[in-house]
Amino acid sequence: MPLWDDTLTERDKQVFAKSGFGKRAGFGQRPAVLVIDMNYNFVGDRPEPILKSIERFRNSCGEEGWDGVYRIRELLEDARKKRLPTFYTTAQERGNPISFGRWHGKNSRGMEDMSEEWTKGNEIVAEIAPQAGDIIVRKQKPSAFFGTPLTSMLNEVHADSVLVTGCTTSGCVRASVIDAFSFNYRVCVVEECVFDRGQASHKINLFDMNAKYADVISLREAQEYIIGLPDNLYAPGL
């Protein structure tokens, strides 16, 4: 039974099944890995219940975020053995209200983002920190693609697909998935490697992405796919 099954009405299930949504699109041949916003602002500086964590980190997803950290670490171990291009996103460094745009219009604690602590919190979690050859993409908006050179870099390595991890499922992950889909990449969302502060939002957005824009796959399936890729797929000069 899919994770999101208990969020759907019987009518929903019948409509989407009869309409043909949710067909498996399949893997690409040259995948890249996207690690979306896996910084301390989104998981806190230690595993703890979300209601405790958000006292200091308003965007934190708490313990679910740290579960995601550990699962992403497993995926990256296999991806690096195959030299898969890996792109991390995180927010820009501390700026001013103009550079932050409309983010603060929807959050009563938004001014906390102007602090030095917020800037430090944009550091990628040490357990899955970028390694030599990985690329960090600084972004201002939800999508990893909006206003960034990510598409040109994916083109440079001739990637035809992306394996998406990170947070939040309903926010930056979803926005990045839709843009990747719009650029005609094959998209897989690794279920155990994405998370959200909202439990209902997590489930229903996985459902919706799987129905229309991406394949939601298990960590095990993603690992088996990566292990089966040629060892020299991204060897220098290829």
Residue 96 resides in a domain: yes
Tokens at 139, concatenated: 């972004």
* 20 belongs to a structural domain: no
Other Cβ atoms less than 10 A from the Cβ of 53: the count is: 24
Contact 120, 113 (CB under 8 A): no
The model's pLDDT over 94-130, given as tens digits with 9 standing for 90+, comes to 556 666 666 666 776 766 766 666 668 899 999 999 9
Based on the structure, what is the number of domains in the chain?
Answer: 1
The predicted model gives 133-145 an average pLDDT of 96
Q: Tokens for 89?
A: 């996103």
Domain of residue 161 covers 26-227
Residue 88 lies in a domain: yes
Q: Note every long-range contact of 111-120, with CB atoms under 8 Å and residues 24 or more positions apart, other chains counting.
A: 112/58, 118/41, 118/94, 119/93, 119/94, 120/40
81-101 burial, b if ≥16 CB within 10 A, otherwise e?
ebbbbbbbbbbeebeeeeebe
User: What confidence score (pLDDT) does residue 51 get?
Assistant: 97
Mean pLDDT of the chain: 93
Long-range contacts of 53-60 (CB under 8 A, 24+ apart): 54/197, 57/121, 58/107, 58/109, 58/112, 59/197, 60/197
CA–CA separation, 175 and 145 (whole Å):
9
State the pairing for strand pair 86-91/31-36.
Answer: parallel
Q: Average pLDDT for residues 18-45, to the nearest whole number?
A: 97
CA distances from 10 to 19, 211, 218 (A): 14, 16, 25
Question: Does residue 201 form part of some domain?
Answer: yes
In a domain, 238, yes or no: no
The per-residue pLDDT for range 184-207, each reduced to its tens digit, is: 999 999 999 999 999 999 999 999
81 pLDDT more than 90 = yes
Task: Encode burial over 136-169: b for 16+ CB neighbours within 10 A, e otherwise.
Answer: ebebeebbbbeebebeeebeeeebebbbbbbbbb
Predicted structure pTM score: 0.92
CA–CA distance, 229 with 209 (Å, rounded to integer):
25
| CATH number for the domain harbouring residue 152 | 3.40.50.850
Distance of alpha carbon 44 from alpha carbon 63, whole angstroms: 9
CA distance 124 to 87: 12
Asked if residue 10 belongs to a domain, the reply is no
Query: Distance between CA 179 and CA 36 in Å, rounded?
Result: 13
Indicate the residue type of 142.
Answer: P
pLDDT at 80: 97
Cross-strand pairs, 237: none
Tell whether 106 is covered by a domain.
yes
Q: What is the per-residue pLDDT for 24?
A: 97
Residue 4 domain flag: no
